[in-house]
Structure 1
């Protein structure tokens, strides 16, 4: 199946991103973060220097069309023959970013959209915009679905329908030789932890530090970074014990460089609720049932797991796709 790309505005090239070490303030909404441990297996690092295909020739995982599921697609989309997918690119590998040609979009979000389109017997067309314009495009009906690390929230459910396909986790990333792990607030007492300001990760870290102080433990030395070049330098020099950010980017960095490892992973929806990433459509546009069925088909036939494994995100697999599950609660 061929894919097409439309992008606006033009984003950084992948070579420039690699040189900069990447920024974490990208397509993932800053409010996506939480405090529920994901699993004991999450506190493991990637394989040293593991290579990832960054070329335009992706040889993407594919799967077969399923006529009964394809029949669930609204008639207008079936007649058009394309699935118009909107996402943010040029931000944080391995979510959705540009290949070495600075033209082809690649990443886990791209690959999930591709196998869903396969099941629906549609040609996938990728469109790239900044974060806010994803929702503007969905609201206008210009795009069918967003695959862009979008977390299910109760507020968003008022305007959009969701079909989940990946867990929303955040992670503590430390040097590869670190001999400690994070299982809860007490593990960051007295530690120097980096975070980006204005994110939910910051709110969590501040809350944990306050809990520790109330329990008679040392506060966390919270240090703020707005680009990854700076905090990776701080990590490598030992000036920072760990950095708290999105799990996929931490996994990707540790996997591809061997210089760091994930020492703790937590839900992106807060204590008591596992956050989930979902395909996002305009509410009641008739497409969510088809997307839901297609995602469950890819989970059952194994192609979904192959995609996650390809990008080092097997720990974010879901057992089944759900439509509009409980989401991140509204913020005050």
Structure 2
């Protein structure tokens, strides 16, 4: 009889686990690599140690759904995918565009829509009109970002028109790329649209920067990247994020930071597969 009871319990466990909420299926913490200086998406608070922003709040809400804490590890953008391949981190939860090229290396759980914009010095002293009209000028970008590819594409057009190329100063951290605009070393910083708009509105109370209006490049989803051999974690993240979308928590977080325009209706896996980047 005891053997029969044990057998029945063991047979029932898979069905019970499947019916249990994610929070009840707890496991160890999830280490998430991220850049940490791109407000309002992710940055340090004034104390210099507390992370805040859209990504941080989403991670906290998803942690509750999964019963697993997402713990951030700061690192340069260009080091994120190598760190995942070396298994030093479990995921990257940052401003990483979900592109076909990156999907060859990792899977993505998409969590936000964005584009690329030009951040310029207040008053536009170098008369930047668009990226296409910047042949011969200097921009800054983040190493390993899709913005680097965008500059290369425009440079091909500059060359075809017999014009000098755009000089691209690449930096490991967005804060360094931004500083070059402030000091006048570059004409513009080419970066993710919500960050550029936020900086234009908030840096020194809106006195330092502007964005070039009417020009948004590379509309593309941001994704949480996960190793291709870790489909269980990928699916768990997707399920947790879709639960937040369904109950309205996701939209409230985006509204809190003024970026609700980038909201997704559902968290797709590898939604950038058809992009041409």
Residue 106 of structure 1 corresponds to which residue in structure 2?
A: 52
TM-score, length of structure 2 as denominator length: 0.69
In the alignment, the residues of structure 2 paired with residue 142 and residue 224 of structure 1 have an alpha-carbon distance, to the nearest angstrom, of 29
| One of 165, 169, 180 as aligned partner of 1:230 | 180
The structure showing larger relative contact order (alpha-carbon pairs under 8 Å, at least 6 residues apart) is: 1
In the alignment, the residues of structure 1 paired with residue 168 and residue 80 of structure 2 have an alpha-carbon distance, to the nearest angstrom, of 31
In structure 2, do the counterparts of structure 1 residues 241 and 315 end up closer, same or farther at CA, with 3 Å as the change threshold? farther
In structure 2, do the counterparts of structure 1 residues 322 and 213 end up closer, same or farther at CA, with 3 Å as the change threshold? same
Please say if residues 281 and 287 of structure 1, whose CA atoms lie closer than 8 Å, have aligned partners that are also in contact: yes
Pairing of 1:12-51 with structure 2 (within 5 A): none
Aligned residue pair count: 247
Residue 191 of structure 2 corresponds to which residue in structure 1?
A: 245
Q: Which runs of 5+ in 2 are unaligned?
A: 1-16
Runs of 4+ in 1 over 6 A off after TM superposition: 328-331
Residue 280 of structure 1 corresponds to which residue in structure 2?
A: 225
Residue deviations 1:228-249, cap 9 Å, x none?
3232121xxxx86543223243
Residue 297 of structure 1 corresponds to which residue in structure 2?
A: 243
1:205 maps to 2:151:
yes
In structure 2, do the counterparts of structure 1 residues 197 and 147 end up closer, same or farther at CA, with 3 Å as the change threshold? closer
What is the deviation of 1:115?
1.7
In the alignment, the residues of structure 2 paired with residue 213 and residue 140 of structure 1 have an alpha-carbon distance, to the nearest angstrom, of 39
What is the deviation of 1:165?
0.5
Pairing of 1:66-145 with structure 2 (within 5 A): 71=20, 73=22, 78-80=25-27, 83-120=29-66, 122-131=67-76, 134-135=80-81, 138-139=84-85, 144-145=90-91
> Matched residue of 1:287: which SS?
helix
Larger Rg: 1 or 2?
A: 2
Superposition CA RMSD, Å: 3.9
What is the deviation of 1:86?
1.0
What is the deviation of 1:250?
1.3
Residue deviations 1:252-272, cap 9 Å, x none?
2112121323223211xxxxx
